Chains A and B, each alone.
Chain A
Amino acid sequence: MTPLAGYLILSAMLFAIGLAGALTRRNAIIVLIGIELMLNAANLNFIAFWRFSEHPEALTGILFVIFSIGVAAAEAAVGLALIISIYRHYKTTNVDEVNLLKG
């Protein structure tokens, strides 16, 4: 197994764990943490591909990770704000109990 494959498998596992968390957990904050894990799995992929690429002096992979981190932070901030507002209304952060809209 090449070192790159090791990193890719690790990142795939992280992605799968994050996805499982996002799909099975009911607490909105834990769901967001799971999604954050998925994003970081992708970032790990970028870094691994960049590090073992033929032209690591080109910093493209790193730059994408920086954008991805920035976007994830914005998403987390908005998500936190939304979940706080939800908590004020429902007194819960359980996504199952937030089910006014359906049909």
Chain B
Amino acid sequence: MNLSLMSLEISVVALGLVVLLADLWLPAERRRALGYVAAAALGLLLLQNLSGCCSCCVAGGDGTAFGGMFVQDGLSVFFKRFFLLAGALVLVLAVEFSDRIATGVSEYYSLIIFALAGMLFAASANDFAMLFVSIELITITFYILTSFTRGKVAALEAGVKYLILGALSSAFMVYGIALVWGTTGKFNFNELAQVAGNFTDNKVFLFGVVFILAGLGFKIAAFPFQMWTPDVYQGAPTPTTAFLAVGSKAAGFVLLLRFLFTAIPSVTAHWDKLLIIISGITILYGNLCAIPQRNLKRLLGYSSIAHAGYLLLGVAAMTSAGQSAVLYYLSGYLFTTLAAFTVIALVMRHLDSEDIAGLAGLNQRSPLLAATLTLAMVSLAGIPPLAGFFGKFLLLKAVIEQGAVNHGYYCLAFTALVGVVISLYYYFGVIRAIYWSKDAASREPILISTPMRVAIVGCIAGIFWLGVAPGAVLRLAESAVNALHCPGLALN
């Protein structure tokens, strides 16, 4: 038993509990700043994790705990840093948003931290029990986070829709796990991989795998499990939406990668057509439905479906190049999406709806925010030299390389390109609203607090860094996905 592997998770859970307890004794006016304290604590954990980089690259830092349930390898370390960064940025955004939360500001912070803990566990899940518990920890906290502004009817409605569809998908997942476990008798992914080859013709087993994939597909908002996305994105408070878009989706992807390529590689190898079709439809659905949207958060909800489709390109390619491209794309998506939602939270402060028209005159009100949102949209659309472009390039490259194996991959790459072209239309619609719309609702300059400014500049730096100098992160991603293919971890 190696409890020290879990020190990060333990500290994050402890932080969440401390924030919850601090709420009981702190005077109300000081609770708001608790978010900055929590964000700083997460930043410190991240720094500590980064500085411990050299020790975890060598074999000593890797290992398993709880009988192989919990695995610490390159992939989990990569995603843990990802989640910590996302959590810290979302907490800063939540402090900015906190004046719109009527009661329970510190509960909001602590729920974000608990969801983060779930994501950290998801990054290390190597067992169906761990997968299930971590995914439910994320999802159930998000039900509450979604309808946290319970005075707003839209938030409540979003929460109920998320709850019903989420509970439905988790029921499917539990049933799937039951079938897979019943036929193979294995919970552990590494053990399952050894026997999964014998079950490729077993209908019950395959049913179980499909049900589990349905549950994971819900988390990443892939077609046909995407129907909750626009409603929840629109109705939820903006920091929740940002965390949902970045954290929850990435957690879904790390679990999907581990499940498909560590647990059942022999089954996945036969399912290239299914993945190609799902990826293609998801891209087209997300992009086509985003075109008529006028609500900015709803638009980003559909665009997030499209991005799930792009990310599935890398999964469908089934090569380590594709998987490292997924990791790279997610890193770019982190900075881009958080930047976009931060701007939305700041600009739409006094507006009831997040209509695109509300962006009018943003250029005069705050050039920094206008530039940030423009960069975010351009990066999401995939224009060089920003993060989104290089990520899409890597994903498409991985898919086209596989074209020789199966010609479906060429069709998929073409579909993705069509999707990118469609997406240019609505992303540039947003940019046009910022710079070229006539009647601005307000000319009042927007005040940005210092921590917020730091977060925004950090996001911009990240967008440029990942677009211009991809080397460092790409190497990290490549070494991370090695953990999927050669799980040479001795089970303790």
A–B direct touch, CB within 8 Å, in complex? yes
Point out residues on A near B: beta carbons under 8 Å.
Answer: 8, 15, 18-19, 22, 28, 31-32, 35, 38-39, 41-43, 45-46, 48-49, 53-55, 60-61, 63-64, 67-68, 71, 74-75, 78-79, 82-83, 85-86, 89-90, 95, 98-103
Q: Which one of A31, A42, A63, A86 lies within 8 Å of B157 (CB-CB)?
A: A86
- Which chain A residue shows the least CB distance to B207? A12
Which chain B residues (168-189) contact chain A, with CB distance < 8 Å?
168, 170-172, 174-175, 177-179, 181-182, 185, 187
Q: Which one of A35, A49, A102 lies within 8 Å of B178 (CB-CB)?
A: A49
B171 touches A86 (CB 8 A): no
Determine the distance from Cα of A44 to Cα of B175 in the docked complex, in whole angstroms: 10
A46 touches B181 (CB 8 A): yes
| Interfacial chain A residues near B298, Cβ < 8 Å | 101, 103
Q: Which one of A35, A61, A90 lies within 8 Å of B181 (CB-CB)?
A: A61
A-B Cβ contacts below 8 A, count:
123
Determine the distance from Cα of A57 to Cα of B161 in the docked complex, in whole angstroms: 41
Further contacts, 7 of them, CB under 8 A, given A39-B170, A49-B182, A86-B157? A19-B168, A32-B164, A39-B174, A75-B136, A79-B167, A95-B160, A101-B235
Question: Does B132 count as interface, using CB distance less than 8 angstroms?
Answer: yes
| Interfacial chain A residues near B136, Cβ < 8 Å | 71, 74-75
Residues 140-158 of B, flagged 1 when their CB comes within 8 A of A and 0 if not, give: 1001100100100110111
Query: Closest Cβ of chain B: how far from A27's Cβ, in Å?
Result: 11
Determine the distance from Cα of A48 to Cα of B178 in the docked complex, in whole angstroms: 10
Query: Closest Cβ of chain B: how far from A72's Cβ, in Å?
Result: 9
B160 touches A82 (CB 8 A): yes
| Interfacial chain B residues near A19, Cβ < 8 Å | 168
Determine the distance from Cα of A66 to Cα of B141 in the docked complex, in whole angstroms: 20
Query: Closest Cβ of chain A: how far from B475's Cβ, in Å?
Result: 37
Question: Does B213 count as interface, using CB distance less than 8 angstroms?
Answer: no
| Interfacial chain A residues near B331, Cβ < 8 Å | none
Q: Which one of A22, A39, A68, A86 lies within 8 Å of B156 (CB-CB)?
A: A86
Given contacts A64-B177, A67-B132, contact A101 B185 (CB under 8 A): no
Q: Can you list 15 A-B contacts with CB-CB less than 8 angstroms, sorted by A residue number?
A: A8-B182, A15-B171, A35-B167, A38-B172, A45-B178, A46-B178, A64-B181, A67-B132, A67-B133, A75-B143, A75-B170, A79-B143, A79-B167, A85-B147, A86-B160
Residues 315-336 of B, flagged 1 when their CB comes within 8 A of A and 0 if not, give: 0000000000000000000000
Question: Does B390 count as interface, using CB distance less than 8 angstroms?
Answer: no
| Interfacial chain A residues near B144, Cβ < 8 Å | 78
| Interfacial chain B residues near A35, Cβ < 8 Å | 164, 167-168, 171
Question: Does B231 count as interface, using CB distance less than 8 angstroms?
Answer: yes
| Interfacial chain B residues near A63, Cβ < 8 Å | 129
Question: Does B234 count as interface, using CB distance less than 8 angstroms?
Answer: yes
Query: Closest Cβ of chain B: how far from A31's Cβ, in Å?
Result: 6
Determine the distance from Cα of A75 to Cα of B136 in the docked complex, in whole angstroms: 9
Question: Does B259 count as interface, using CB distance less than 8 angstroms?
Answer: no
B174 touches A53 (CB 8 A): no
| Interfacial chain B residues near A49, Cβ < 8 Å | 178, 181-182
A39 touches B160 (CB 8 A): no
Query: Closest Cβ of chain B: how far from A69's Cβ, in Å?
Result: 11
- Which chain B residue shows the least CB distance to A18? B171
Determine the distance from Cα of A45 to Cα of B204 in the docked complex, in whole angstroms: 12
Query: Closest Cβ of chain B: how far from A14's Cβ, in Å?
Result: 10
Question: Does B56 count as interface, using CB distance less than 8 angstroms?
Answer: no
Determine the distance from Cα of A64 to Cα of B452 in the docked complex, in whole angstroms: 43
Determine the distance from Cα of A16 to Cα of B230 in the docked complex, in whole angstroms: 28
